[in-house]
Amino acid sequence: MFSKHNAPKAEDPRLKAITEAIRVVPHFPKQGIMFQDITTLLLDHKVFKDTIDIFVDRYKDMGISIVAGVEARGFFFGPSIALAIGSKFVPLRKPRKLPGRNITGAWYLGEVISEKYVLEYGSDCLEMHVGAVKPGDKAIVIDDLVATGGTLSAAISLLERGGAEVVECACVIGLSHFKDDCSVNGKPLYFLVEPRLQ
Amino acid sequence: MQSSVGVCSSSSSNWLFRFSAAAASLLPSSLTFPISKSSSSSSLITLSTPSLIPSPLRSTASASDSSHVTVMASNDAQDPRLPRISSAIRVIPDFPKPGIMFQDITTLLLDTKAFKDTIDLFVERYRDQNISVVAGVEARGFIFGPPIALAIGAKFVPMRKPNKLPGEVISEEYSLEYGTDKMEMHVGAVQAGDRALVIDDLIATGGTLCAAIKLLERVGAEVVECACVIELPELKGREKLTGKPLFVLVKGA
């Protein structure tokens, strides 16, 4: 595993099975991209559980009050981690999924805020309910994979705009260029394995 | 298994709970409603003994009053965790369009006890049923499905919108209010003989769940039950499930 701080000295024996459980799909969604498919990991109960356990062991004593999961594959991992460490789960969603103001303009939990970002392939926009976080909250961001860091940067920005402190970003897979620095926009990054080539 | 156990009607969130004098006068005096403005679990409706259950009281949203008040009622002894789960769900009128009462579960996810209780209720029901697959419908089924799968020792299989799953998939088309959509599942994720649950946050017309059932059955799995946090009974989605049982925690108006 790779992290800025507190990396264990010996290789965790669970990581080999985690790497092997990930399936590579060549040329998806377009030519040249070796897509790291984690759905095969979700089919292996022991490996899926080990993945969650590694994150839970890392975060359970850090006073984390928010686990923010990036739609949609962050949803596979985030809620289980949140439940295990006693944190709230906050979904960071694609546009127009989170209810904000309705047509009469009435306010509910608070407005939905948006942050645009550039992807490895394309661009998109991430949204969060402002009322879901508050100053004093300590947050981690979860996604399946970090490629350029664009999505995680948008997530960090949303949480900070809501007043939370982002403690770390956590992914199952991280592209190799993140290994040396292990950070995204100045925030620590933690990930378990590198991409498989085939 | 029963098709629903101990359900209660969803109420508006505590933040919006307004109880008009006119509505209060319609209640039997035996029923007391400690209403607190805090969002803690103590601000829940307390029922008197089961023999004094009132009929549900509903006020529909008017143009000037956007709160929606539903008094919880139960037909039998219900799980004591349900009231908190119900009140943690936020009902938003006229989203995403006029006439729709949107059942927002994100507030449930912010209540750590209620979220844990929600998962526990499903886990308790299914842990001894030899379930080998939990199929979660994109995207809110991805929030509830994996914790359940992990707890009961099952695989988790995402049922996704088109073109999201890499590799070989099978598709099932289903009807929307206007037009159609498609749901996809990975080839090879589920085998003949697998015993499956289908999980989503809410059942409305049942179209999505029906598509999921069909995909699973096409590969020879047995769909044991569909499970949702919320049902909108007026839309009769329960009847669209090709005879499969449905289990829900909360019924919405």
CB proximity under 8 Å: B 104-163 to A: 104, 106-107, 109-112, 115-116, 119, 138-139, 142-144, 146-147, 149-150, 153-158, 160, 163
Name residue A69's beta-bridge partners.
Answer: A91, A142
Mean local confidence (pLDDT), A53-73:
98
pLDDT recorded at residue B236 = 95
The C-alpha of A181 sits at a distance from chain B's nearest C-alpha, in angstroms, of 30
Mean pLDDT calculated for residue range B235-241 = 95
pLDDT in tens, A133-170: 999 999 999 999 999 899 999 999 999 999 999 999 99
Sign for the CA dihedral angle at B211, B214, B219, B223 comes to positive
Q: Is A120 a catalytic residue?
A: yes
Gap between the Cα atoms of A89 and A83, Å rounded = 8
Chain B CB contacts of A77 under 8 Å are 146
Q: Please choose, from the candidates B158, B171, B140, the residue with its C-alpha nearest in 3D space to the C-alpha of residue A38.
A: B158
Residue with tokens 């005096």: B29
- Residues of chain A with Cβ-Cβ distance to B163 below 8 Å are 29
Confidence of residue B67 (pLDDT cuts 50, 70, 90): very low
Mean pLDDT of B140-160: 98
Can you give the pLDDT at residue B34? 32
B140 is catalytic: yes
How far is Cα A42 from Cα B146, in angstroms, rounded to an integer? 8
pLDDT one-digit tens code per residue, B165-209: 999 999 999 998 789 999 999 999 999 999 999 999 999 999 999
- Determine contact, residues A193/A18, Cβ cutoff 8 Å: yes
> Which parts of A27-177 are beta strand (E)?
34-37, 66-70, 88-92, 112-118, 123-129, 138-146, 165-174
Paired residues of B75 in beta bridges: none
The whole-model pTM stands at 0.83
Residue A16 has pLDDT above 60, yes or no: yes
A158: exposed, middle or buried (C-beta count within 10 Å: 0-12, 13-18, 19+)? buried
Which residues numbered 105-134 in A keep a CB inside 8 Å of some CB on B? 106, 108-109, 129, 132
Any CB–CB contact under 8 A between B15 and chain A? yes
Q: Tell me: the pLDDT tens digits for A20-47?
A: 999 999 999 989 999 999 999 999 999 9
**pLDDT computed for residue A165 by the predictor:** 98
Q: A7: pLDDT confidence band, cut at 50, 70 and 90?
A: low
Q: Are A32 and A40 in contact (CB under 8 A)?
A: no
DSSP H stretches of helix in chain A: 14-21, 39-42, 45-59, 74-85, 150-161
As given in the structure block, the two tokens for residue A189 are 């990054």
What's the rounded mean pLDDT across residues B91-101? 83
Q: Tokens 């809501």: give the residue.
A: A162
Q: pLDDT tens digits, residue range A90-130?
A: 999 999 899 876 444 454 545 899 999 987 677 889 999 98
